Amino acid sequence: MTKKRKPMLASGAIVSDYEPLFKYWEIAKNVDKSVAEKATLRSEDFDVALSYVSSKGITSLASLLSYLEDYMTDRVDGELAVRALKETYGVTFEIEEAKRRIARILAGWLIEACSLWGTLRLTGKREE
């Protein structure tokens, strides 16, 4: 079994497959490097994640993922996301769905990075 690639500060605890994001970067760099750079983590992303958690207190992972996915969606080019997912999985997604899937990977990566840095703690407790 081959080892799965992960970007820096990714643990794989939330995102099990980063290949669509790697493919997205590869395609985007060939189109416009700035498009690829939009789909990476920025220092302000950490502030957004921590601000959400501090405003909500203890929150569910699903809630945080959903919020960050919404936050990241506008940074993903829909046409390129469709291509990346098609090339990775052989399935064609609608533009909005493709954008959300790449944004969800970015959101999960952000949470993993926050957890690795110790700025966010993931627990196994379920929300009531």
pLDDT digits 0-9 by tens, 86-122? 999 999 999 999 999 999 999 999 999 999 987 777 7
The model scores a pTM over 0.85 = yes
- Cα angle for residues 100, 105, 107 (degrees, 5° grid): 85
Structure tokens at 8: 């820096």
- The alpha-helical segments, DSSP class H, found in the chain are 19-31, 33-38, 43-56, 61-73, 78-89, 95-117
Q: What's the DSSP call for residue 58?
A: S
User: What is the C-alpha separation between 41 and 15, in angstroms, rounded?
Assistant: 15
- pLDDT over 60 at 127, yes or no: no
pLDDT digits 0-9 by tens, 21-78? 999 999 999 999 999 999 999 999 999 999 998 888 777 899 999 999 999 999 999 9
In the block, tokens 């052989």 appear at 90
- pLDDT over 60 at 1, yes or no: no
pLDDT of 3: 72
pLDDT of 56: 81
pLDDT of 15: 97
In Å, the largest CA–CA distance within the chain is: 47
User: What is the C-alpha separation between 34 and 63, in angstroms, rounded?
Assistant: 29
DSSP 15-44: -S--HHHHHHHHHHHHH-HHHHHHTS--HH
The residue extents of the domains of the chain are 35-117
CB distance 119 to 52 below 8 Å: no
pLDDT of 126: 47
